[in-house]
Structure 1
């Protein structure tokens, strides 16, 4: 896969997707969003890949926001379409991906960068990470799902504070608020993400995809998350992974999931 702004490394069952625009602090533009969509789509379709880690190139930034030059003169209609397409192509797409996505937040994760990290299934941050949604300081609001996912992760009050003040928070604050799961030194960031990925790959990918769908259902308007869980729980009984997992348990051995 050859891209201009995205790098992909594959290590057996693991893929690392790196946003590679270091001179722009890995800011998201339309092309990068399209490339990321294609990368995630192809990796999700690759049955060898069990986990995807997304990160940014260099040590300064995960993704330091959107490329403001690209939309500074947009009309209302163009701005609306920008948000709609972006959410559809990347942010909602990543959130609903059947393959687990871990965000390795190495440095600044601002605006669209934090929105990308929040779209991942969970987040690990380096100790130098700074996170925030500064959009209101530009006279706009988060448009790639930030107003929704931030409140889901940290609660309404904290989300309102972050959005309205446009302040950045530290990695430790993000951990205290539930925005990230772990904080480590930058040198340990990818090793920890790989370790967590290794634990995930030991389990049933079929069951994990169903769990992702069930968890996400709770945050979808007019959808009963409990009903989706019941349905996916029942469907699990018809999978080969269920047969292998339960058989391995009864035989007191490790399961060999296909």
Structure 2
């Protein structure tokens, strides 16, 4: 349990909204190449304050995981580790018909064996960092999520998908195996027998089948604007947003850490997380709101 204790080191920070901004989506198709980024943040405002989007837009390469894309994503994820203003994080693509096409095979072909191994090690580390983010994360899969693209979605807590989305760990069709966490996260998501079948065959599944397998939480018909999964992800984020933010984060810690240990140790982790919530003002507010029969007003304190 020594490792588990490290999770709770340090004081609870206030989760109050800080200064926010709204990025327009025109950056994906306008401006010079030099002033565009392949990965950016969009902080929603008004009633959606606290929901933040990770916008992916590597147009010519369908959000494939190249050096620049991965580097920018790593920097962005690092900046969010201690951002208490973010209550829910949504990963979405601005490229029509694709979430993330996986590895950049053109870049990979120029690497030596040692360079390729080092790069994949970095990808695995990035997915671990995404999985370790303290706030709930949602992947909005509007289109293809293949190989590393599906591994990115699997690193998120929740997933929404359009019916027409195509998802698969297709590495065995390229002489490889999933190397950025897919061989570990897919079995934990859909069960070992189903995961083995999908990985051994390299099969792709659509959004409707994915929800039946438990690969995604929600699947919806695609709309005319091609962002049905994103809209559903926002709907899900808006259900999470009103809840006590420290409680949500501690619930994530309890489930993630508990899944790594035996049930007895998991119960101890749950108890430690619960104890962290007892002195919070949000817990007191939750009790007061219940007694007074009104909606709670959580501040993250």
TM-score, with structure 1 as normaliser: 0.92
What is the distance in 1 between the residues matched to 2:65 and 2:36?
14
Structure 2 counterparts to residues 190-201 of structure 1, below 5 A: 190-201=230-241
Look up the match of 2:296: 255
1:197-248 deviation line (CA, Å, top 9, x unaligned):
1111100111111111111113436793332112111221122221222222
Per the alignment, residue 175 of structure 1 pairs with: 211
Query: After the TM superposition, which parts of structure 1 deviate over 6 Å for at least 4 consecutive aligned residues?
Result: none
- Structure 2 CA distance, aligned partners of 1:80 and 1:229? 37
> Quick one: structure 1 residues 91 and 222, their matched pair in 2 at CA, closer, same or farther if it must change by over 3 Å?
farther
What number of residue pairs does the alignment pair up?
257
Deviation at 1:76, TM superposition (A): 4.9
Let me know the Cα RMSD of the aligned residues: 2.1
Unaligned 5+ residue runs, structure 2? Answer: 1-22, 24-34
- In the aligned structure 1, how far is the partner of 2:286 from the partner of 2:71? 37
Q: TM-score, normalised by structure 2?
A: 0.79
The separation in 2 between residues aligned to 1:32 and 1:166, in whole angstroms, is: 25
The 1:249/1:41 distance shift into structure 2, 3 A limit, reads farther
* Aligned residue runs from structure 1 range 3-22, under 5 A: 4-11=37-44, 12-22=49-59
Q: Tell me, what secondary structure is at the counterpart of 1:85?
A: helix
**Distance in 2 (alpha carbons) for counterparts of 1:249 and 1:128:** 42
Contact 1:119/1:149 (<8 A) preserved: yes
CA positional deviation for 1:38: 2.2
> Structure 1: where are the runs of 5+ without partners?
none
Structure ID, larger Rg: 2
- 1:123 corresponds in structure 2 to 159
Structure 1 residue 189 and structure 2 residue 226: aligned? no
- Out of 152-161 and 236-245, give the one that drifted further: 236-245
Worse-superposed segment, 58-67 or 101-110: 58-67
